[in-house]
Structure 1
Amino acid sequence: MKVSKFTCGLSAYPVHVTLYQPAAIADFPSQRRPLVILLPGGGYAFYSDREGEIMALQYLAQGFAVAQVAYRLRDQPPVLPTALYQLAGVVREFRQHALAYGISAEHILLVGFSAGGHVAALYADLWPSLAHDLNLPPMCLAVSALTLGYPVIGLRLGWPATQTECQTITGNWREHEADRLVTPQNPPTFIWTTADDELIAAENTRRYAQALQQQRVSTEMIIYPHGPHGLSLARAVTAFPVSFAPADPAFGERFIRPDVAGWFDRQLRWLDDLWDLKRFWRQQ
């Protein structure tokens, strides 16, 4: 595995990227790889490590390259539209230089969790208009598919708790209700959450999936019955240890959900159907 850290994007909207690239298989000719552009959550206050490198490694194990993006946070308000313009610059970078990065420009999966899911969903809605704003050819900003885990979709749907917090995200940017901005140009979308998520109501996921379906965008939605917000892989490796909350030793157990842990493999099956990955790998 090769890990590179660099700044890329549009000159007015630079952004830090960590690129994870699988090592080449020695007896194969050079391979083009699908690319995951990864946006961890963290409430626009930080980037959750539980949705960062450990998530990237899951995709690397499937042969994907992964670019983790350090989009704008609330400590430099407002988040929008800068985070969207930063993401546009990242997509453009990898599409324009796909050969140099060893990726397939037609197999880019945008993945976002929680607040990162909000950025990803808005981008999936708005990429043609972002191209207009930035005076760029629209197709250089296109992604091929979208995965959202327990995403923020509408800031009117219960998070954030105060108008002051909301203002640090939106500023004067009005296009922040992702379910109201879906068009037929949205990419195929895989979206999941839990019914009793205590922080980001499952209604976010339901409304976005409904909006996609109304626009005839290919959509797979899973709402698992139980599980707290921020499940990540829903396995012990991403569950909080006892030392995180000594007064509540059972706290981390809630983040181990064998049923929810199946989301990653279900997503891979969805991608396999969408992209015919067996053919993709074999015909290189």
Structure 2
Amino acid sequence: MGIDRRRALLGTLALGIGGAAAAQTSPPAVAGQRVPGRPDPRETIDLWPDGAPGLPAAPPVETVDERSKDLQLADRAVHGVTHPRLVVFRPERPNGTAVLIFPGGGYRWVVVDKEGYETGRWLAARGYTAFVLFYRLPGEGWGAGPDVALSDAQRAIRVLRSRAGQYGIRPNRMVAMGFSAGGHLCGDLATRFDAPTYAAIDAADRLSARPDGAALLYAVQSMTLPTAHPGSRMQLLGAHADRALERAHSPAWNVTARTPPCFLLHAEDDASVPVENTLEMRAALRTAGVLAETHLFPEGGHGFGLRLAAGKPVAVWPELFRRWAEARGLA
């Protein structure tokens, strides 16, 4: 029986990126539950083709919790990630810039909707190719310990640079964006992009993991109490971290002249992550001569993302980010 070439080609294209997409791990989902609102994205990129390194003897089990009581508004969070992956939001007209999104979650889980998918959709609607990273968590026994999420972030940048043509992006226009504990991961990547956190596995790992810009939104930064967010500090470093370990994992202590330009944003009434986290980071960037644009709002609280910023002065933050990116040649 002959093969209908046109039908075969259409079937392959329906998978997203040729046949390879079929082998990728699906996005996090709640089994048996219809997600309200827009359909979930389907295209993903597994970061580690032979499995993530340092698997614990008792591997965690990926679990998605739906935290919303509103049937029309999803608010999922995932923990137990064993297949770190990117979820892809492709724009209709790519502007050549990739934004790698690190949602928050206090290093206890990774937020799916509020800081992940909603941001990805907003960016893609404006020409950015957005990638939401579902990263491994440091409290779940991985061999890299407090560097495990950074390993995934470094690998993600390198994989995207190696496949830039496939996604219509430029290797020199990679922006990292992080929220809360994801903001800590973003700051960690911006300051420790060349730290050896895993053994190279392929040609992609010869590429730089340095982002070309970093956006830190109400970001955890300090690991020293009382400025530190206690929950993130506990998950990352444990209860008995000494001062040397705290400094090693506080981005402001690791800023150098090679740190990329940064966009910083925080609400001064943030009761979870004190605004001093952003002020310390800004001071370190200025001392190192790194360009830093800083926006502070008297009100906004913590974790506003897009949905909780609506109707407040802080709701302008996405456009402020967009203008910053354009001014830096990143859009």
**SS of 2:185 mapped into structure 1:** helix
Task: Give the structure 2 partner of residue 242 of structure 1.
Answer: none
1:145-200 per-position Cα deviation (integer Å, ceiling 9, x unaligned): 00011000012123115975453499899321111010000010001001110000
Task: Give the structure 2 partner of residue 57 of structure 1.
Answer: 121
1:203-257 per-position Cα deviation (integer Å, ceiling 9, x unaligned): 0000001101110101001111112111112xxxx13xxxxxxxxxxxxxxx545
Pairing partner for 1:106 from 150, 172, 177 = 172
1:255-270 matches, cutoff 5 A: 256-270=310-324
**Which amino acid is 2:92 matched to?**
A
1:28-86 per-position Cα deviation (integer Å, ceiling 9, x unaligned): xxx56210100000111122221011111111111011111111125514652111111
The structure with the largest strand share of the pair is: 1
**Which amino acid is 1:221 matched to?**
T
The percent identity for this pair of structures is 24
**Which amino acid is 1:151 matched to?**
A
1:163-178 matches, cutoff 5 A: 164-168=234-238, 174=245, 175-178=248-251
Distance across 2 between alignment mates of 1:6 and 1:170: 36
Distance across 1 between alignment mates of 2:296 and 2:122: 22
Q: TM-score, normalised by structure 2?
A: 0.69
Pairing partner for 1:201 from 236, 254, 274 = 274
Task: Give the structure 2 partner of residue 141 of structure 1.
Answer: 209
Structure 1: unaligned runs, 5 residues or longer: 25-30, 240-254, 278-284
**Which amino acid is 2:122 matched to?**
Q
Deviation at residue 5 of structure 1 after TM alignment: 1.8
Structure 2: unaligned runs, 5 residues or longer: 1-15, 17-40, 54-82
Task: Give the structure 2 partner of residue 35 of structure 1.
Answer: 98
**SS of 1:50 mapped into structure 2:** helix
The structure with the largest helix share of the pair is: 1
Distance across 2 between alignment mates of 1:36 and 1:94: 10
**SS of 2:190 mapped into structure 1:** helix
Task: Give the structure 2 partner of residue 159 of structure 1.
Answer: 229
Over the aligned positions, Cα root-mean-square deviation in angstroms equals 2.9
**Which amino acid is 1:158 matched to?**
A
Distance across 2 between alignment mates of 1:162 and 1:22: 33
Distance across 1 between alignment mates of 2:318 and 2:134: 23
User: Quick one: structure 1 residues 50 and 165, their matched pair in 2 at CA, closer, same or farther if it must change by over 3 Å?
Assistant: same
**SS of 2:301 mapped into structure 1:** coil
Structure of larger gyration radius: 2
Distance across 1 between alignment mates of 2:291 and 2:119: 24
**Which amino acid is 1:19 matched to?**
V
User: Quick one: structure 1 residues 58 and 132, their matched pair in 2 at CA, closer, same or farther if it must change by over 3 Å?
Assistant: same
**SS of 2:223 mapped into structure 1:** coil
